[in-house]
């Protein structure tokens, strides 16, 4: 489980953190390799219920890490504004902890459809054809969210 937030006065409610996830354009997926090396990579994602979906190539660094250890952290940064004269920044962010699990069959298709709805909603018919023709060229994962927290300075 995550540590308690140090600046609890900036803590967001679970609903506010979920809103940041819902509106986020991308997130940083953090994994750990077998030798303990952390690895954070930006990914497109869809937030649905208590799940995050993301897709990737059929091989690579993050896949090696997920195979060795499915525990992940996922961070989304929402609106930000640098305040130079105050030596500060207005920000909002949400962090999720959970387990990543690869999807197959109908679940895999459903995950890709959620990504399609988020990023290309105006091209659903064309997107569905694309999914059907290229589904074997991608791997799809869901993160079962175990905890979510948010923090903001507004």
N- to C-terminal Cα distance for the chain? Answer: 27
Closest CA to 137 of 59, 63, 58: 58
Q: What is the pLDDT of residue 146?
A: 96
CATH: 1.10.3720.10, 2.30.110.10, 2.70.70.10, 3.30.70.380. Which one for 8-153?
2.30.110.10
Domain ranges of the chain: 8-153
pLDDT confidence of 4, banded at 50, 70, 90?
confident
d(Cα 140, Cα 55) in Å, to the nearest integer? Answer: 4
Q: What is the pLDDT of residue 8?
A: 76
pLDDT tens-digit profile of 118-141? 999 999 999 999 999 988 999 999
Strand partners, 39: 31
pLDDT confidence of 37, banded at 50, 70, 90?
very high
């Amino acid at each position: 489980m995550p540590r308690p937030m140090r600046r609890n006065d900036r803590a967001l409610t679970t609903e506010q953190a979920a809103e940041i996830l819902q509106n986020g354009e991308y997130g940083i997926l953090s994994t750990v390799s077998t030798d303990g090396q952390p690895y954070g990579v930006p990914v497109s994602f869809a937030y649905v219920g208590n799940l995050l979906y993301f897709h990737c190539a059929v091989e690579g660094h993050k896949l090696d890490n997920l195979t060795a250890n499915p525990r992940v952290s996922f961070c989304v940064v929402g609106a930000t504004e640098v305040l130079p004269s105050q030596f500060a920044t207005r920000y909002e962010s949400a962090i999720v902890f959970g387990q990543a699990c690869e999807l197959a069959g109908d679940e895999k298709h459903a995950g890709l459809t959620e990504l399609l709805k988020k990023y290309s909603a105006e091209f659903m018919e064309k997107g569905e054809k694309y999914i059907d023709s290229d589904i074997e060229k991608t791997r799809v994962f869901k993160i079962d969210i175990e905890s979510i927290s948010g923090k903001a300075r507004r």
